[in-house]
Structure 1
Amino acid sequence: MANQRSSLPGCLLALMAFLVLFAVIAPGSFLAGALLERNGVLPGSTAGQINEGPAAFKLLWQARDIINNHYVDRSAIEDQRLAYGAVSGMVESLGDTGHSRFLTPEMMQAESQALSSDFEGIGAELTTKDGMPVVVAPMENSPAERAGIRAGDVIVAVDGQDVTGMALSQVIQHVRGPKGTSVTLSVIHEGENQITDITITRAKIPLINVSAQMIPGTTVLLVRIGSFSARVGDDLKAALQQGKADGAQKIILDLRNSPGGLLDEAILVASQFLTDGLVMQEQDAEGNRKPLAVKPGGVATDLPLAVLINQGTASAAEIVSGALQDQGRGQLIGKTTFGTGTVLNQFNLDDGSALLLATRQWLTPKGRVIWHQGIEPDITVELPRDASLVTPSRLKGMTPTALQASQDTQLLKALEALGKAPNAARR
């Protein structure tokens, strides 16, 4: 059976890799930056088969022999490490950075763990851009976020070891670890030139999928989706119903730093705000398109809406953003999203590792390509460099004065935009 994953930056998987990984799934799919289908185990290859294959592949065996015979650091020579490096390099040579990739057995296990209720790590999602490991987004209230890791951070070293030329799978192995242990990331924040060392204590991280809170002094409900894992659509519906019961007349949907998740859940989330039409289109290599429609029964189709996005908004979150923008349902406020959107096929290898290869891509309802381009906001708003996002959990106990004094310029702009909107739905 095939499991479709929609982009988890990749979405994660962007796909990307969570620390632990994150992704997006469709009817069995993941949205971590790409949609994923699991196809059966691929047959293994032997050295003889390699030598009988294309002439260029004989170079692999020749290079291995030279390394075995001449490399000075004998302890570094290990067949599995060399094999994983070769496979990873082969996939990376396709140029599908952040999407098609190789997963070691450990990464496969981490990905499975990330889809459960909690996991251990720093709580950030990684991908590669221009050959460099980059943070897609830290999770809300995660060790990474609390320590100062930001979306767009370029990682140059882990515990003092240079990782700039390292395969993403190796970077993740260096960053991951059990709760209570620490790791130091040397990063370059987006828009800066200097390297900043950030030490993070790993922890058990519960996945906060949906959180909501009335914004003090307003009738606006702030709803945040941290990830698109199982039951997010149901959780969002419940949060919206409770918000309406509490007097919510307008909604701000916060998709900032949301790396993706299940494709089915992305459709259900968008459908809470739309009455009809499409959520997205899926296009194959021949250009054939398959429309995916809105599910009936949305509970917030008649409330004014603003949507917060940033460079950490990826995969499933981009599907939702694109659908709401194309249907004119609400203004997108913030920064251009990450730009993920391929459908990946997962091919399992003999030792528990796997290849994720892009086979299809998804488009917005109007046919806009998101892959490598992202979704542009209707209103571009920069967040101050040292500002923290105001989340529903931070809103609890916050006064209107404290909110206005916060540096979350994107949220404040969304409030301003909604203040000028009528109470009827803007269609």
Structure 2
Amino acid sequence: MEEKKKRIYRTIMIIVLTAFVTFMLTSFWMYSNFNENNQTLSITENGGLLKELTSSSDSNIEKYLNKIKTTIDKYYLWNNNINEEDLKNGAIEGYVAGLGDEYTEYIPADKMKDYKDNIMGSFVGVGIYMVADEKSDRVLVYYPIPESPAEKAGIKSGDLIISVDGTEYTAKDFDRIASFIKGEEGTKVNLVIEREGERLSFDLIREKITTNPITIKMLENDIGYLKLPSFDDDTANGFKDKVNELQKQGAKKLIIDLRNNGGGIVDEAVDIADMFLDKGKTIYSSVDNKDKKTVTSSKNDPIFAMNVIILVNENSASASEILACSMQDNERAKLVGTKTYGKGIIQTLLSLADGSGLKITTEQYYTPKEVSIHKEGIKPDEEVNLPDTVKSVYRLEESEDTQLQKAVEMLK
């Protein structure tokens, strides 16, 4: 475990940086220093290089923003109430948004702790995983964490979140709704949800939540079933423990359910693939903006030899797709379900000296067969659609789960 903590995560893990931040982040000098045992990525300021590193267009941006600021100060009616920090954050957020990349974003300093906590799988809240549901235009409860305030109160997978503390939200608010649901430990939050046309109100007390979302059960014919909703910190160790537990219960074959798993920490997916693949097999490769290619391969002999089926659907994305493609291309598992989401890029979270952060797309990844899945997805070996009677892919009864039934049939 200690060795793992010393690694640089190539994904949305925290990379600590030294930074000098100007108003529009125009004076960055980025360099990387790599050696075999240690990797650091730093942003530093060097006064003698500022002129050289700031392009004429950057300079024009700064001059234009200064003119806007001067105009606001001179003419804005409520200029005595201007919050300079809010203006700065808004300007930076807008600048980053101009990239047109939905996965690259600026995180202000006051939101970074919650952001990091979410990545690491520990936070204060009510204990629900959420997704933006386009069909209903609502934020949908994907999964209430076992023993969380939400689960204890009766909130279920598939519930639509209508409002938080009296304020209504839609799917477009997905990126910010979590900040209103979370809060100080011991405080109350009200959620109004919609379930099958009925609206229900829940008063919940926020608690410290440590996620452990992996659930398992035994199926017929010595088949173990494992549902993995996300890739949080230490998920791989939890996965190994759960598979060992299934084997003790008599499991000789395994179904891994990655449906609706939107991803998370890529290294956790890599470590899980390593448990099944022969040493030296390619898990995935990636290319950065300098066309530098990095191949990630399995480092250890496999610890699990059982036959595997992986369930996927249109909401299986990112780290889920890395695990799925590595197992499929290396002929270690069959995929059953529908084509995956198609997020074939990796983000890195840069933590800046002022406490803010920049989550930025840094690499595109390829399957072991060197195929890009970005905006394409992965086609399963056995394409199986759910019945038209299924109201929500997030809340399935086993009797109507034709994808699971097909996986069981293939493992008999």
Partner of 2:43: none
Partner of 1:385: 391
Q: Aligned to 1:264, which of 262, 267, 283?
A: 267
Partner of 1:356: 359
1:417 aligns with 2:394: no
Residues 276-318 of structure 1 show CA distances to partners (whole Å, capped at 9, x for unaligned) of 42111111223332211123332323x2211122344333222
Partner of 1:211: 215
Partner of 2:60: 55
Tell me by how many angstroms 1:204 deviates: 3.8
Matches within 5 A, 1:224-235: 224-235=227-238
Separation in structure 2 between the aligned mates of residue 73 and residue 157 of structure 1, nearest angstrom:
30
Structure number with higher relative contact order (C-alpha < 8 Å, ≥ 6 residues apart):
1
Matched-pair contact (CA < 8 Å) for 1:340–1:374 = yes
Matched-pair contact (CA < 8 Å) for 1:335–1:382 = no
Separation in structure 1 between the aligned mates of residue 78 and residue 150 of structure 2, nearest angstrom:
34
Aligned-partner residue type, residue 42 of structure 1? A
Matched-pair contact (CA < 8 Å) for 2:16–2:352 = no
Residues 121-170 of structure 1 show CA distances to partners (whole Å, capped at 9, x for unaligned) of 243356899xx99769545446678635659x8999984356787794x5
Separation in structure 2 between the aligned mates of residue 199 and residue 62 of structure 1, nearest angstrom:
49
Partner of 1:176: 182
Matched-pair contact (CA < 8 Å) for 2:107–2:357 = yes
Residues 19-45 of structure 1 show CA distances to partners (whole Å, capped at 9, x for unaligned) of xxxxxx9933164xxx55726232122
Partner of 1:223: 226
* Secondary structure at the counterpart of residue 356 of structure 1: strand
Partner of 1:287: 291
Aligned CA distance change for structure 1 residues 104 and 144 (closer, same or farther; 3 Å) = farther
Q: Aligned to 1:344, which of 321, 342, 347?
A: 347
Residue range with higher mean Cα deviation, 369-378 or 352-361: 369-378
Aligned-partner residue type, residue 93 of structure 1? G
Q: Any unmatched runs of 5+ in structure 1?
A: 5-24, 391-402, 420-427
Tell me by how many angstroms 1:198 deviates: 7.8
Matched-pair contact (CA < 8 Å) for 1:307–1:321 = yes
Separation in structure 2 between the aligned mates of residue 410 and residue 75 of structure 1, nearest angstrom:
61
Larger Rg: 2
Aligned CA distance change for structure 1 residues 326 and 265 (closer, same or farther; 3 Å) = same
* Secondary structure at the counterpart of residue 22 of structure 2: coil
Aligned-partner residue type, residue 325 of structure 1? Q
Matches within 5 A, 1:247-262: 247-262=250-265
Aligned CA distance change for structure 1 residues 206 and 166 (closer, same or farther; 3 Å) = closer
Separation in structure 1 between the aligned mates of residue 64 and residue 133 of structure 2, nearest angstrom:
26
Tell me by how many angstroms 1:320 deviates: 0.4
Partner of 2:92: 87
Partner of 1:44: 21
Aligned residues: 368
* Secondary structure at the counterpart of residue 212 of structure 1: strand
Aligned CA distance change for structure 1 residues 64 and 269 (closer, same or farther; 3 Å) = same
Separation in structure 2 between the aligned mates of residue 95 and residue 335 of structure 1, nearest angstrom:
28
1:160 aligns with 2:153: no
Aligned CA distance change for structure 1 residues 116 and 290 (closer, same or farther; 3 Å) = closer
Q: Any unmatched runs of 5+ in structure 2?
A: 28-53
Aligned CA distance change for structure 1 residues 373 and 404 (closer, same or farther; 3 Å) = closer
* Secondary structure at the counterpart of residue 255 of structure 2: strand
Separation in structure 2 between the aligned mates of residue 200 and residue 236 of structure 1, nearest angstrom:
33
Tell me by how many angstroms 1:214 deviates: 1.2
Matched-pair contact (CA < 8 Å) for 1:39–1:346 = no
Separation in structure 1 between the aligned mates of residue 81 and residue 198 of structure 2, nearest angstrom:
28
Q: TM-score under structure 2 normalisation?
A: 0.72
Separation in structure 1 between the aligned mates of residue 167 and residue 358 of structure 2, nearest angstrom:
30
Residue range with higher mean Cα deviation, 177-186 or 36-45: 177-186
Aligned CA distance change for structure 1 residues 386 and 272 (closer, same or farther; 3 Å) = same
Q: TM-score under structure 1 normalisation?
A: 0.70
Matched-pair contact (CA < 8 Å) for 1:278–1:323 = yes
1:313 aligns with 2:316: yes
Residues 234-284 of structure 1 show CA distances to partners (whole Å, capped at 9, x for unaligned) of 333333233233321211011233343433322221122222421111112
Aligned-partner residue type, residue 61 of structure 2? A
Separation in structure 1 between the aligned mates of residue 235 and residue 325 of structure 2, nearest angstrom:
18
Aligned CA distance change for structure 1 residues 295 and 414 (closer, same or farther; 3 Å) = same
